[in-house]
Amino acid sequence: MTAAPPRATPPRGTDVLIIGGGMIGCALADQLTLAGASVRVCERGGVASGTTAHGEGNVLVSDKGPGPELALAQLSRRLWPTVLARIAERLPRDAAAVEWEPKGGIVVATTDAGATALTVFARSQRSAGVQCEHLDAAQLAAAEPALTRDVCAAVYYPEDAQVQPAGAATALLGAAIAGGAIVETRCEVTAALCRDGRLIGVATTRGPRHADIVINAAGPWSGVVSELLGAPIAIKPRRGDVLITAPMPPTVFHKVYDADYVGAVGSSDAALQSSAVVESTRGGPLLLGSSRRQCGFDDRLRPDSLAAIARKALRLYPILADVAIMRAYGGFRPYVDDHLPVIGPDPRLPGLWHATGHEGAGIGLSVGTAQLISAALAGHPGEIDLAAFAVDRPAVITTPEQVSR
């Protein structure tokens, strides 16, 4: 097992206020409390009630090409077992509720063109240290007996894992609370509190809250929050839907998805993008995804999205034709045009930091993001250079006037 890097410690007694009680905010609260900061989380709704509650719990390296996001995913994947082991020592029930499953992922291509693209993509990932191996027809059938045989190529990623997202978030937050963190729900941020050009806290619906550092971890609502604070960033909501089947006997044993999923994730098209993603849960239902669409905060379930998900899932698993759909849900991912998170200090407003824009990868990237923020607050170099995730890049702050503000 790779040794955990030395813990970065913010200056003792630093007051940190985290806006957002989703997966990223909870991971920050855990790491920063562990590092010695005084932490307060302000969440406008309930803990893990937004994007986190509407995700699939993916901890993936299989869907990212070489670059800073893959490096962050690899860091996070190494950290997850260590973080969960630490929480289990003090809060075993909370750790168990995370439902950590290092089940591995299988990416399949159902066309010759897709097979060629998948082979090239896997080769590039392997050069960046990702573990992956091609499966022949017999190996694929043994790994996923119910999967269609109409597959041109398949790649197995043993490092892919899954958690129960709300359970993971609450476990991290529980560890933070055990370490002294304060959590306030139904506490919505309404304005910035500034002194001499520095952010010193926020006004909320429950009164003023002061802090040395304020971290915007509000997910898809980070753009709205940043506007309120006077330092806008271009985070937009990107809608996604999931179908949930009735409980089934063991049928799907890995996270399985079509190779076109990677293209859908990387697309900047505002119109509906869909691809086949099928995975099991410990309770028995299967989760069927996925879709992406830019439609603001329109929360309606749309038949075209659900139909596309079902149609593509059936192509991978024909056995699903006779399986009942129990329910469907949708949520919003924090989207950035260049498909990279926003992590670090805001140069326009001292005291403000951002940890957002992870789109659909926030569950997997959360613990790595928290470690990078903790290291940066302590003035230490992190394992990954934050420059790629900087706030003042063109996709996040779009005009020269904003950059120089």
| Residue ranges covered by each domain of the chain | 15-92+165-234+338-389, 105-158+236-335
Average pLDDT over residues 13-39: 95
Give the lowest-confidence range in 53-67, 112-126, 270-284.
Answer: 270-284
Which pLDDT tens digit goes with each residue over 311-357? Answer: 999 999 999 999 999 999 999 999 999 999 999 999 999 999 999 99
Q: Which CATH superfamily is domain 105-158+236-335 in?
A: D-Amino Acid Oxidase, subunit A, domain 2 (3.30.9.10)
Q: C-alpha distances in angstroms, 176 versus 15, 143, 278?
A: 14, 39, 33
| First and final C-alpha spacing in the chain | 46
What sign for the dihedral angle of Cα 26, 37, 94, 62? positive
- Cα–Cα distances (Å) from 7 to 90, 226, 383, in that order, read 19, 29, 11
Pairing of strands 236-245, 255-258: unpaired
Provide the pLDDT for residue 290. Answer: 82
Q: Is the pLDDT of residue 372 over 50?
A: yes
* Mean pLDDT for the chain overall: 92
Average pLDDT of the segment spanning 99-123: 95
What DSSP character marks residue 271? S
Q: Which residue has the tokens 């940066």?
A: 376
Residue 381: its pLDDT value, please?
A: 85
Q: Which among 392, 393, 401, 394 has a CA at the least distance from the CA of 352? A: 392
pLDDT single digits (tens) 101-111: 999 999 999 99
Q: Which of the 8 DSSP states describes residue 14? A: -
CATH of domain 15-92+165-234+338-389: 3.50.50.60
